[in-house]
Amino acid sequence: MLEILYTLSKSSEALQHAVIFLFNGAEENILQASHGFITQHEWAKSIRAFINLEAAGVGGKELVFQTGPENPWLVQAYVFAAKHPFASVVAQEIFQSGIIPADTDFRIYRDFGNVPGIDLAFIENGYIYHTKYDTSDRILTDSIQRAGYELLVQSSLGHYHNYTVRVILILMIACSRIYDCWVKLFFFFVAINNLKKFFTAFGLILLSWISTLVTVLIVAVFISLIGRSLSWYTHFYVSVFLYGTAAVVKLILVHSLAKKFYYKVRLTSLPLLEW
């Protein structure tokens, strides 16, 4: 943050909007500093968006794991400004579900200041986070360099004109409405032509989703019972192996059984054609 502040101060190109650099303390003590700023500081009311920097690891790609609330223009601005955007909707759902026992200044700005923002964090080697092995010599300096570059580029958020945002939002809304109408029309005709097949397929898909969810929960309970509840946190591929494999196998199993028993029965019950 200091390096970005220094670079911006030496830049010959003036920003269209002011940028506040907030160095918070007391984060581990119920996020007191961010709460004090957003509720008491005279600058708080002038803030329209924020970028929150977090770390639950020593490096890797900076992951956008929370955005909003609402305000899709902020995500569009991030995609427009960042050279190498990296985000995960799944990460946001998992974090906001409360499964991970942690919190960030993002919630304070959102809930007490009603300000939209972007929450970024390093997550590589997260298993040493808040342990005695969480030392400065393990920090990956190339990740710091990358993050600084990305954040410096994102300072161009102030140059992302409202007119451009409006045009993008109008196009997105128009496309979504057209797509939504097409989907509804398509399913309407499908339901009219063959309502029974439609509900059968829908029921089969719903059953496969529920079965998959139950399987994933069973795996999660088993991992917790053997004392490895956060083993997937270190690398993304671990979570794919633990939960993704179980989910895919369950989906294939449900549809294979349906194909073998249900559809086979229906085919054998059809009368033979007489020529």
| DSSP structure string for 52-121 | EEEESSSBSSPEEEEEESS-HHHHHHHHHH-SS--B-HHHHHHHHHT-S----HHHHHHHHH---EEEEE
Shared domain for 132 and 205, answered yes or no, is: no
Residues 207 and 152 in one domain: no
Q: Is residue 40 part of a domain?
A: yes
Helix, strand or coil, per DSSP, at residue 37 = helix
Query: Alpha carbon of 4 to those of 10, 109, 149, 221: distances in Å?
Result: 10, 22, 8, 44
Pair 200, 132 in one domain? no
- 211 lies in which domain range? 194-269
Regarding whether 138 and 203 lie in a shared domain, the answer is no
Single out the residue of 251, 246, 243, 245 nearest to residue 99, CA to CA. 243
Is 107 domain-assigned? yes
Residue 172: inside a domain: no
Of 107, 142, 160, which residue is a domain's last? 160
End position of a domain, from candidates 114, 136, 160: 160
pLDDT for residue 239 is more than 50: yes
Q: Do 47 and 120 have their domain in common?
A: yes
Determine if the pTM surpasses 0.75: no
pLDDT tens digits, one per residue of 136-192: 888 888 888 888 888 887 665 544 445 555 566 577 677 777 877 776 676 666 666
Average pLDDT over residues 117-127: 87
Claim to verify: residue 215 and residue 112 sit in the same structural domain: no
* 178 is a domain residue: no
For residue 238, the number of C-alpha atoms closer than 13 Å in the C-beta half-sphere is 14
Q: How far apart are CA 205 and CA 254, in angstroms?
A: 9
Active-site residues, by number, are: 27
Q: What pLDDT score was predicted for residue 274?
A: 46
The verdict on residue 174 lying in a domain is: no
Q: 135 and 49 share a domain?
A: yes
Q: 19-23, 101-105, 234-238, 253-257: which has the minimum mean pLDDT? A: 234-238
Is residue 165 a part of any domain in this protein? Answer: no
CA nearest neighbour of 126 among 144, 137, 138, 141: 138
Asked if the structure places residue 20 within a domain, the reply is yes
CATH number at residue 80: 3.40.630.10
Q: What is the mean pLDDT of residues 93-116?
A: 86
**Total domain count for the chain?**
2
| The pLDDT of residue 241 | 77
